[in-house]
Every structure is written in structure tokens, then in C-alpha cells.
Amino acid sequence: MSPSEGRTGTGRAAVFDVDGTLVDTNHLHVVTWWEAFRRAGHTVPTHAIHRAVGLGSGDLVTHLLGEDGAAAEAEELGTAHKVLYAQYFERLAALPRAGRLLRRLADDGWTVVLATSADGEELSALRRAIDADDAITATASADDVSEGKPAPEPVERALELAGVPAERAVFVGDTVWDMRAGSGAGVTCVALLCGGIPRADLEEAGADAVYDDPAHLLAELARSPLA
């Protein structure tokens, strides 16, 4: 489906977060952020880091250290995290049936777009893990937006790439930040529990429906907002 078809109102967009939604990476991010903070002399509990995963690098540091602590260290900490996380690039694993879900949606006429804070080699590694490039029309990455989630801009950019209005789009993510971004963009929000965030928190942040993981969503597709 082309973007021009979307602008006529006949298209539908399925927008997906990647980390924790399609690829099993959230706990790898927790461990590598924890180590980056530790090396810089900060003791940050892993549970706090887990709840911050999904924010862009600078926003995550600010969220965990506060404005004063983050200003001088955000870039250095972000670089340390990238280096530590890169050691896992060749071992990243897609969540159950993630690629099959994307292909099924593409076959059903949905324009599939990724919306992620990842970019460069990290994004390439994530896409290799998903192994469904034939089903993905476009990607809105960190390079394409000025504000990351929970701002709605990543989802809005994905809709622009798909050429589809918000009322004909569904955003699938796994964090509170995803749900807030999708709600802010005016799309239907579907949450997955495989990122480790409680159902109640996801629903409070704007989730219209909640599933265990991509395999569960695929199994329930006919009864889901992506029907």
C-alpha cells in the first residue's frame, strides 16, 4: 500500500514500537544502563531503570538523575550505554511470532511502520532480529524527530510516513511512554505485557486493549483493534 492510498482515506496504519514490543530487549537495556550508571558513580535501582526504558537516552538520564545531574552527564552516559548494549546486537531475539504478526497485517492491507528511539546500527540489529523487512513500509527513528516518547511526535511522524490519519491507525507498544505518545497522537493504543510493565499502568496511560505478546495478539487478531 502506498502513502498516496493512505491520504485518500482508504489506508490503515499499524505502527509498532520495537524494543520490548517486537524484540526482547528491555532487560538488556536495564542491565546495560545500570552498568553505565555504576561506572559513572551512580547507584540507580534496576526497577527504576526498567520503568524508564522506552524514553530516549537523554530523557531517561534526566528522569533518573534529575535535571541537575543529567545536564553534564547525559551524553557520556548515553555513549556508555550504547557501547555496552552493542555487545548484544548479534544475539537479539524477536519476541514470539513478531515477524509473523507484521507479515499477517501487511497481507491484510495494513501499512506497517516502526516508531522507535533506536537508530543506526542498533536499529539495523533490531530489524535483523524481527526478520520481516518485506512487511515493513517505513521507520520513524530517533533521527526523524525532535522529541521522543512520551511526546506524540514519533507516532505522528509514523503516520506521515504511512500517509494515514490518526483515526485509521493503531499503535502497538509495551511501555507507559508508548501509550502516552499514542494517546497524544490520537490513535488507538494496544499494549503488550512482554516489556514487563503492569497491565494497570498501561491501561491508565491510555491502552485501549492489552495482550501478552505478539503471539497472543496474532492469535486474537480477529477480535482486536487490528481486525
- Determine the angle formed by the axes of helices 120-130 and 98-107, rounding to 10 degrees: 80
Span 147-175, pLDDT tens digits: 999 999 999 999 999 999 999 999 999 99
Question: How many domains does the chain fold into?
Answer: 2
Check which CATH number belongs to the domain holding 187 and give it: 3.40.50.1000
Same domain, yes or no, for 20 and 33? no
Span 111-160, pLDDT tens digits: 999 999 898 999 999 999 999 999 999 999 888 898 999 999 999 999 99
Same domain, yes or no, for 58 and 161? no
Cis amide prior to 3 (ω within 30 degrees): no
Mean per-residue pLDDT of the chain:
94
Residue 214 is predicted with a pLDDT of 98
Residue 8 is predicted with a pLDDT of 40
User: Considering 57, 87, 117, which residue would you say is the last residue of a domain?
Assistant: 87
Same domain, yes or no, for 40 and 125? no
Task: Measure the CA–CA gap between 214 and 192, rounded to whole angstroms.
Answer: 7
Residue 114 is predicted with a pLDDT of 97
Any idea which residue has 547525559 for its cell? 74
Q: How far is CA 83 from the centre of its chain?
A: 20
Same domain, yes or no, for 21 and 58? no
- What's the Rg (C-alpha) of the chain? 17
